[in-house]
A and B are shown apart, each in its own frame.
Chain A
Amino acid sequence: MSEAQRLAADDATLARAVGERDDRALAELYRRHVGPCLGLARRVLGDRTMAEEVVQEVFVRTWREPERFDPTRGSMRAFLLAQVHGRAVDLLRAESARRAREEREALQRPGIDIDLEREVMQLTEAEAVRRALATLSDGERQAIELAYFGGHTYREVAVLLEQPEGTVKSRIRAGLLRLRAALIEAGVSE
């Protein structure tokens, strides 16, 4: 695959090229998705070094087992972010990491040096996500944020919010389904 083809290729095509051991296809996937992956890992873990390790592990695993990505089941971005989130949460649940995060002050957000269109696309989507989140009840939003960004289990969220576990469980699912509907309506999800 030439560089021009790589730049124009969709993610599923790049994933197939990764399956054929094209490391530059992996490099293009990295270029497209590393920002949100690293940002999510850092937000969950509160530690830049650990976040980089998680992202490295996820991209290396994608190289090693490219067949784990099934384009009929969702986007490459969702696949990578789900891997990153799962791994970050696993690490966080090791008590030492959580304690370290609590002791650490939030790092200042660094600048981003990626192309403006991708940046705008992400800001556009972020704006749609923010609007969609605003349609949720406070309870749904808090439960989702504590679970996703806080890395808490729903049972821990129930304790934190002083709500019954069943309520929190239902709010997470109902809130996510509602978010999804709102994002589809806003044209940023399908």
Chain B
Amino acid sequence: MSDSTSIPGAHDLDSLLGAYALDALDAADRARVDAYLREDAAARAEVDDLRETAASLALLPDTPMEAPPDLWARIQQAIVEEPHAGAADPTTANDELAARRARRARPRWIAPAAAAAAIAIVVLAVQVVSLHGQLDTAHQLGSRATAAAFDRAAKTPGAREVGLRSGSGTTLARLVLLPDGTGYLRGDHLAPLPADQTYQLWAVTGSAKTPTVVSAGVLGPDPAAVTFSASGPVHGFAVTVEAAGGVVTSHHTPVASAQLA
């Protein structure tokens, strides 16, 4: 907030800063606020903060979009044509597209170091394989038994229960995680998939700003109720649709996700 005594009408101008940050001023108001911002550092700081908040609004469900493959090529073409862009090689557009495809095929968490990548793949592969075993056990118990176990687990002290929601906010599955890492999932509202596809559960670890995602289980095409196991500090879950058998790394948009409180 700015010192309202320093500039005539500053209080009135302060009240416009929210609308300014959202580009919701007409040209005359915008010009007045522009002039004010040139003079007032506190007002500038508030606008910067509010724009940061507006940027978060842009991430609301349904907003992010896949870019068409040729959009980067068009940008590349435009910057190559810039008079002072001498460093850019005219052939880099194709190289860059190839590099981008290569990067896309590889998850970020194994990108920085080859050694770490090899370990991550082995660990994830073991995890996926062992989870098949656990799921078999769950199916032997029967989904009704697992559903009962879900209800018992939800009442266990220290249990964390959360709804996995779709991008539009619909709860598609519920999940309980016990302090020992044992988890139960009820997918009552996950639509059944064809036999050649499966739902796969992913645990989100790491910090909120730099999450790491590991597979927590291949759930099958119609997971009414299943158990799984998650190790380490987990702060969220996501469910994707994959080819039957599951994958070590996913490149699909989650159909549902949740943050643990």
On whether the two chains bind one another, the answer is yes
Query: Which positions in A face B, CB cutoff 8 Å?
Result: 3-4, 7-8, 21-24, 26-27, 30-31, 34-40, 42-43, 51-52, 55-56, 59-60, 63-64, 73-75, 77-78, 81-82, 85-86, 89, 109-130, 133, 144, 147-149, 151-155, 157, 166, 169-170, 172-177, 179-180, 183, 187-189
Is B96 in contact with A180, judged by CB distance below 8 angstroms?
A: no
- How near does chain B come to A28, taking the closest CB pair, in angstroms? 9
- How near does chain B come to A10, taking the closest CB pair, in angstroms? 11
**CB contact under 8 A between A112 and B96, given known A39-B63, A117-B107, A130-B169:** no
Is A126 in contact with B208, judged by CB distance below 8 angstroms?
A: no
Is A119 in contact with B254, judged by CB distance below 8 angstroms?
A: yes
Is B96 in contact with A154, judged by CB distance below 8 angstroms?
A: no
Is B18 in contact with A175, judged by CB distance below 8 angstroms?
A: yes
Is B15 in contact with A170, judged by CB distance below 8 angstroms?
A: yes
- Which one of A22, A34, A129 contacts B71 once the chains associate, using CB atoms below 8 Å? A34
Which A residues are in CB contact (< 8 Å) with B50?
A: 173, 176-177, 180
**CB contact under 8 A between A113 and B212, given known A52-B71, A85-B23, A152-B24:** no
Interface of A is mostly: helix
Is A81 in contact with B254, judged by CB distance below 8 angstroms?
A: no
Query: Could you jot down 8 A-B contacts, CB within 8 Å?
Result: A34-B71, A117-B213, A123-B167, A127-B257, A127-B259, A133-B60, A153-B19, A183-B56
Q: How many A-B residue pairs have CB under 8 A?
A: 265
With A7-B108, A21-B88, A74-B49 known, 4 other A-B pairs at CB within 8 A are: A42-B65, A116-B213, A154-B19, A180-B52
- How near does chain A come to B173, taking the closest CB pair, in angstroms? 14
- How near does chain A come to B48, taking the closest CB pair, in angstroms? 5
Identify the 5 closest CB pairs spanning chains A and B, nearest first. A173-B18, A147-B24, A39-B63, A78-B55, A35-B64
Which B residues are in CB contact (< 8 Å) with A111?
A: 66, 252-253
Give the interface centre of A21, A52, A117 by most chain B CB atoms within 10 Å: A117
**CB contact under 8 A between A176 and B21, given known A117-B212, A124-B204:** yes
Is A154 in contact with B62, judged by CB distance below 8 angstroms?
A: no
Which B residues are in CB contact (< 8 Å) with A82?
A: 51, 54-55
B85 close to chain A: CB less than 8 A: yes
Q: Could you say which of B98-106, B121-129, B133-141, B182-190 contacts chain A?
A: B98-106
Is B25 in contact with A36, judged by CB distance below 8 angstroms?
A: no
Is B74 in contact with A56, judged by CB distance below 8 angstroms?
A: yes
**CB contact under 8 A between A78 and B54, given known A113-B104, A116-B107:** yes
Which B residues are in CB contact (< 8 Å) with A36?
A: 55, 58-59, 63-64
Q: Which of B214-253 touch A at CB < 8 Å? A: 236, 238, 240, 249-253
Is B54 in contact with A155, judged by CB distance below 8 angstroms?
A: no
**CB contact under 8 A between A23 and B79, given known A115-B251, A121-B211:** yes
- Which one of B22, B53, B251 contacts A180 once the chains associate, using CB atoms below 8 Å? B53
Is A123 in contact with B22, judged by CB distance below 8 angstroms?
A: no
Which B residues are in CB contact (< 8 Å) with A173?
A: 15-19, 50
Is B60 in contact with A126, judged by CB distance below 8 angstroms?
A: yes
Is B65 in contact with A109, judged by CB distance below 8 angstroms?
A: yes
Nearest A residue to B202, CB-CB? A116
- Which one of B48, B250, B253 contacts A73 once the chains associate, using CB atoms below 8 Å? B48
Which A residues are in CB contact (< 8 Å) with B249?
A: 116
Nearest A residue to B53, CB-CB? A180
Which A residues are in CB contact (< 8 Å) with B157?
A: none
- How near does chain B come to A20, taking the closest CB pair, in angstroms? 8
Is B52 in contact with A74, judged by CB distance below 8 angstroms?
A: yes
A37 to B167, CA, bound (A): 18
Which A residues are in CB contact (< 8 Å) with B48?
A: 73-74, 78
Nearest B residue to A149, CB-CB? B57
Q: Which of B193-211 touch A at CB < 8 Å? A: 202, 204, 208-211
Is B71 in contact with A55, judged by CB distance below 8 angstroms?
A: yes
Is B54 in contact with A81, judged by CB distance below 8 angstroms?
A: yes
- Which one of A129, A152, A166, A175 contacts B59 once the chains associate, using CB atoms below 8 Å? A129
Is B19 in contact with A129, judged by CB distance below 8 angstroms?
A: no
- Which one of A59, A85, A110, A124 contacts B66 once the chains associate, using CB atoms below 8 Å? A110
